[in-house]
Structure 1
Amino acid sequence: MNTLPIFRKVAVAEGISYILLIFIAMPLKYWADMPLAVKYTGWAHGVLFMLYIVFLIMAWQEYKWSFKKVVLIGFASLLPFAPFLVDKRLKEDNLNKSW
């Protein structure tokens, strides 16, 4: 099974959901008294985060990535905008076979 394309899509979706959660839903909750924005955006982000971790582990097994690489990619899910860098790097990695 080729998990890399799926993982890259999940990484982008997780990054988008994180940005929406932090920069749109959280301000709506605290400044506009709209707690449902965080409820639904947070739920979607949580599901995407779990998928990110699951597909990261699957890709680790399939591509025999180093532990260091997996930790860096995993840590990237905790930073806004970092999943987009992961996607870009994995795309380049797939073309150049380096990292």
Structure 2
Amino acid sequence: MDIKTASALRRLRLVSLPEAISFPLLLVCSWLKRNTDFNAVPVMGWVHAILFLLFVVFLLDAWNRTKWPLKRPALFFVLAVLPFGGFFAERMLKREIEAGVIAARARREGVVNA
């Protein structure tokens, strides 16, 4: 895995966690708006929108660099749309980054997979 691919995956992973947190918070703010006088939906809506758009942009960048089949980025997109799905996406990305680092280190040290 080259440095640009690793960076793209790290960016996607870093934005997936805040995006995953912002979606349930937006749902809570929406519930509070309807049941109390507290209205944080405009602010939380903007925060979530920006994080979601960053997630989509970083997902497209990671897809371009990793050359994933369509199924993989589609799964990440569906996870981003589901409440708490971003947590699963973050965990999957963490495993993929670690596997890529291990594979790159093995190639550098001349270890051949049998």
Same fold (TM over 0.5): yes
Distance apart, 1:34 and its partner CA = 2.4
Identity %: 36
**Residue of structure 1 aligned with 2:21, choices 2, 16, 23:** 16
Structure whose CA Rg is larger = 2
Are 1:72 and 2:70 counterparts?
A: no
Amino acid at match of 1:71: A
Kindly report structure 1 stretches of 4+ aligned residues shifted beyond 3 Å. Answer: none
Are 1:31 and 2:32 counterparts?
A: no
Are 1:83 and 2:70 counterparts?
A: no
Partner of 1:62: 65
1-structure distance, mates of 2:22, 2:50? 10
Secondary structure of 2:81's aligned partner: coil
TM-score normalised according to structure 1 size? 0.89
Distance apart, 1:62 and its partner CA = 0.9
1-structure distance, mates of 2:89, 2:68? 14
Secondary structure of 1:77's aligned partner: helix
